[in-house]
Amino acid sequence: MSEPLILGIETSCDETGVGIVRGTTLLADEIATSVALHARFGGVVPEVASRAHLEAMVPTIEQACKKAAIKLADVDAIAVTAGPGLAGALLVGVASAKALALALGKPIYGVNHLAAHVCVDQLEHGLLDQPSIAMLVSGGHSSLLLVPDVTQDIVALGQTIDDAAGEAFDKVARVLGLPFPGGPYIDEAALTGDPEAIAFPRGLTTPKDLAKHRFDVSFSGLKTAVARWVEREQREGNAVMVNDVAASFQEAVVDVLTRKAIDACLTHDVSTLLIGGGVAANSRLRKVAGERCAEHGISLRIPRTGLCTDNGAMVAALGSELMRRGRDASLLSFSSDSSMSVTSVVSP
């Protein structure tokens, strides 16, 4: 039997992503982004994102099919992000996927957005080691996961208790007068900054915090510390060295994330760490993670930057793995779930 041909749809936030995968081979990965529409608001506006998905859905599907040189009737199944994400945005993707599945008479998999971020690495580095530790860091999520089986067994070890890492990047970028989304601009500014210029706090790393939140992260206090530092410098008439602030802030985030990820690997005797999500594109995170993994004999897997951000390829990749392993498809009556737990890989 040939490997399954899967069309994946991702609409959890502001990216309309459509990917087509055959087995673990990526045939098409088309994205229509509405980020420019949100830039003037300094963050994603759910209603704007939902309307943008409606407008982009059909053209993006057509573009993906053209790129993969297939017809819709050729696909073996449809996969779609069922959650977590923005409620209205998810509804657009799920409704579109259901319409395709019904019209084509194909099975449908309503999959978990976070599990898809884990599975997408298989398109680049082959089948995932079992078990693995996955650290997912994005604008909406900061999660540390134990992954014995990406298709049905994911254990949440830790998560953010306030701001996600990507959210903190956006808020600090705004304080520094940098554009939205903040991650790439802080990364760029930090390249010529001093990461040791300012001793910003490392949240949830004291012995008392670790006793209760060993694998959790917190970036709200760090964000506030940056804002107060900038305000004080401006009040005293000093020039704010944006590059140094960016580098010092970024170093604090990267230090905490990598320290906790390595601890999770060592604690659970797992030799593979996978990093995914939009913040995984950060150059400093990649460098420090590589150094610390090498120091402890841990294999590091990070997808190329284009597969770190939200995309349809990751959804198709998970759908392909589910079908390859003979996992049950979703009922056509399944619902989207904006707060879907990572322990639920696929909607029943």
- Pair of tokens at residue 49: 């994102």
The residue with greater pLDDT, 1 or 186, is 186
Q: DSSP letter at 163?
A: S
pLDDT recorded at residue 43: 80
What integer pLDDT is reported at residue 178 of this predicted model? Answer: 97
pTM over 0.85: yes
* Mean pLDDT (whole number) for 196-224: 97
The gap from C-alpha 119 to its chain's centroid, in whole angstroms, comes to 11
Segment 169-193, tens digit of pLDDT? 999 999 999 999 999 999 999 999 9
Looking at the structure, tell me whether residues 59 and 140 fall in a common domain.
Answer: no
Residue 1 has pLDDT above 70, yes or no: no
> Does residue 137 sit in the same domain as residue 245?
yes
Give the domain range for residue 295. 130-304
List of residues 6+ apart from 66 with CB closer than 8 A: none
Answer whether 245's CB lies under 8 Å from 229's CB. Answer: yes
Query: What does the pLDDT average to over 142-152?
Result: 97
Q: Are residues 137 and 54 in the same domain?
A: no
Q: Is residue 166 part of a domain?
A: yes
Strand 5-10 and strand 15-22: the pairing is antiparallel
Q: What is the rounded end-to-end Cα distance, in angstroms, of the chain?
A: 25
pLDDT digits (tens, 9 = 90+) for 118-138: 999 999 999 999 999 999 999
pLDDT at 151 over 70: yes
Q: Are the CB atoms for 16 and 89 separated by under 8 Å?
A: no
Do 171 and 300 belong together in one domain?
A: yes
- Residue 216 pLDDT grade (very low, low, confident, very high; cuts 50, 70, 90): very high
36: burial class by Cβ within 10 Å (0-12, 13-18, 19+)? exposed
Q: What is the pLDDT of residue 193?
A: 98
Determine the angle formed by the axes of helices 220-235 and 242-267, rounding to 10 degrees: 160
**Domain holding 250: CATH number?**
3.30.420.40
Rounded mean pLDDT of 292-306? 97
Is the predicted pLDDT of residue 340 greater than 70, yes or no?
yes
State how many domains the chain has.
2
Question: How many alpha carbons lie under 13 Å from residue 217 in its C-beta half-sphere?
Answer: 34
Query: What average pLDDT does range 68-86 have in this prediction?
Result: 97
- The pLDDT-based confidence of 46 (bands split at 50, 70, 90) is confident
Question: Is 343 contained in some domain?
Answer: no
Flag whether 286 is in a domain.
Answer: yes
Does 141 lie in the same domain as 9?
Answer: no
Mean pLDDT of 154-161: 97
